[in-house]
């Protein structure tokens, strides 16, 4: 019974995590780090529409980032200053890359732009031009929970921390409403935070 309840709660928490998306917020740099924003400008006419054709997975150097980014979304990464190769991959086949030399205490913006014939481009864009578009995007919750980061260049991926906190808050709300017991809440909280 407990396992069934936890499974149901996990499904509820995962499904609701995709519904609530936070609007763009410019992050502050950690000491001696650099910020990398990757975004896909909003091109679909309605927020309710989902163009599965606009899902991209990302790779930093040779390390695949869990999840995906799609139309009207952005991801932000705190990285160690270095030269990296950022790849965007569509349909697990089509891949485009850009190389960036990241300097400490600076922010970089990379845009993924869908073009005709199912192709796309990935390129660096100036902060001034990027902010005009990225302010219309929302934080991608596709990265629910990063694996132990093998790429030592990645310091922190904002999505994983934000979604864990929201999942724990939703579980706590279920406990307060009497839907789950204190014991079920503790188990669920431990499971969320351990990922």
Confidence of residue 170 (pLDDT cuts 50, 70, 90): confident
Whole-prediction pTM: 0.63
Domain annotation covers residue 48: yes
**Domain of 66, in residue numbers:** 29-158
- Residue 25 confidence (pLDDT): 86
Domain annotation covers residue 71: yes
Average pLDDT, the chain: 77
Of the two residues 146 and 173, the one the predictor is more confident about is 173
- Residue 95 confidence (pLDDT): 93
What percent of the chain is predicted at pLDDT more than 90?
Answer: 36
Domain annotation covers residue 11: no
Is 80 exceeded by the pLDDT of residue 163?
A: no
Domain annotation covers residue 147: yes
Domain annotation covers residue 119: yes
Domain annotation covers residue 58: yes
Confidence of residue 99 (pLDDT cuts 50, 70, 90): very high
User: Which residue matches tokens 């896909």?
Assistant: 40
Of the two residues 47 and 56, the one the predictor is more confident about is 56
Assess contact for 146 and 126: CB atoms under 8 A.
no
CATH, residue 94: 2.60.40.2890
SS3 (DSSP) at 22 = coil
Mean pLDDT of 116-131: 91
The number of folded domains in the chain is 1
Which residues have a Cβ under 8 Å from the Cβ of 191 and sit 6 or more positions away? 6, 10
Is 60 exceeded by the pLDDT of residue 129?
A: yes
What is the rounded distance in angstroms from the CA atom of residue 156 to the CA atom of residue 108? 15
Q: Where are the beta strands (DSSP E) in the chain?
A: 34-40, 56-60, 63-64, 73-79, 83-90, 94-101, 107-114, 120-125, 138-139, 154-157
- Residue 23 confidence (pLDDT): 84
Domain annotation covers residue 103: yes
Domain annotation covers residue 64: yes
Tens-place pLDDT, residues 3-42:
444 444 454 444 444 445 788 888 888 888 899 999 999 8
Of the two residues 133 and 4, the one the predictor is more confident about is 133
Dihedral (C-alpha) 53, 21, 161, 169: value to the nearest 10 degrees?
-140
């Amino acid at each position: 019974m407990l396992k069934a309840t936890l499974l149901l709660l996990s499904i509820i928490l995962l499904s609701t995590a995709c519904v609530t998306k936070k609007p763009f917020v410019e992050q502050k740099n950690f000491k001696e780090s650099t910020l990398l924003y990757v975004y896909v400008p909003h091109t679909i006419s309605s927020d309710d529409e989902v163009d599965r054709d606009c899902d991209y997975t990302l790779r930093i150097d040779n390390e695949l980032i869990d999840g995906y980014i799609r139309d009207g979304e952005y991801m932000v990464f705190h990285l160690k200053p270095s030269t990296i190769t950022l790849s965007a991959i569509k349909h697990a086949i089509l891949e485009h890359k850009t190389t960036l030399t990241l300097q400490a205490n600076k922010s970089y913006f990379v845009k993924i732009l869908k073009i005709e014939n199912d192709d796309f481009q990935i390129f660096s864009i100036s902060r001034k031009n990027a902010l005009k578009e990225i302010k219309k995007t929302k934080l991608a919750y596709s990265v629910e929970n990063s694996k132990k980061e093998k790429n030592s260049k990645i310091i922190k991926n904002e999505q994983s921390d934000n979604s864990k906190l929201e999942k724990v808050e939703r579980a706590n709300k279920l406990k307060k409403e009497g839907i789950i017991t204190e014991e079920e809440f503790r188990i669920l909280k431990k499971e969320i935070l351990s990922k």
